[in-house]
Structure 1
Amino acid sequence: MFLHLGKDYVIPLKDVIAIIDVESALKSEITKEFLEVAEEEDFIHDIAKEEIKSYVISEKVEKGKNNKYEIRKSKIYASNISSTTLFKRANFIDNIK
């Protein structure tokens, strides 16, 4: 299964670690600091190009040389789609009215 994040971006659901509402993120000092550091270290990929409504934290695991070790690549997507809509698309929430 895949999750459409907006624009032309789709990621595998198995790579999704968290979907965070931007308003909730900005209320928490720890989360705000985490996002600031992530932005400084170029982990945030802004696909919103407008008002950011949610962040999707993902991690892709790739095999290293000769399948001896794993390489983990983290990326945070800033999306203009609400966290509720992303949860629905991912089928994480059933029967929301």
Structure 2
Amino acid sequence: MFLHIGNSNNILLKNIVAIIDRKSLESSNDNNTYIQKLLKNNPLSNEDIDDVKTYIITCSSNDSRKKRKSDKKYNLYTSNISSTTLFRRNKNIETRLEVD
């Protein structure tokens, strides 16, 4: 299943590592440092958003059988949708999956 994060962008749910509110990120030195390191090594996806409200970190592997750190690829997405709304969307998708 996918999570719609705005601007015609969808992310595979199983790849989402974290959904972080921009204000929380800016107030935490640890989180801010982590995001800066992530940006240094990986391009920012969908950076054309004017009003960033949320950052989404994803992780994918080229081969699901391999779990080595070197095989994982991290991406950072921005969204103009609040982290609360994205969380609710995620919960709604999980609830629908359980019912089916």
> TM-score of the superposition, structure 1-length normalised?
0.79
More helix by share: 2
Amino acid at match of 1:78: T
Quick one: structure 1 residues 75 and 19, their matched pair in 2 at CA, closer, same or farther if it must change by over 3 Å? same
Which consecutive unaligned segments of at least 5 residues does structure 1 have?
A: none
Aligned pair count? 90
Amino acid at match of 2:25: A
Aligned-residue CA RMSD in angstroms?
Answer: 2.2
1:7-53 deviations in Å (ceiling 9; x for gaps)? 12111111111100000000001111111222222342234521110
Correspondence for 2:98: none
In structure 1, distance between residues paired with 2:41 and 2:72:
15
Correspondence for 1:24: 24
Correspondence for 2:83: 83
Which consecutive unaligned segments of at least 5 residues does structure 2 have?
A: 96-100
Identity of aligned residues (%): 32
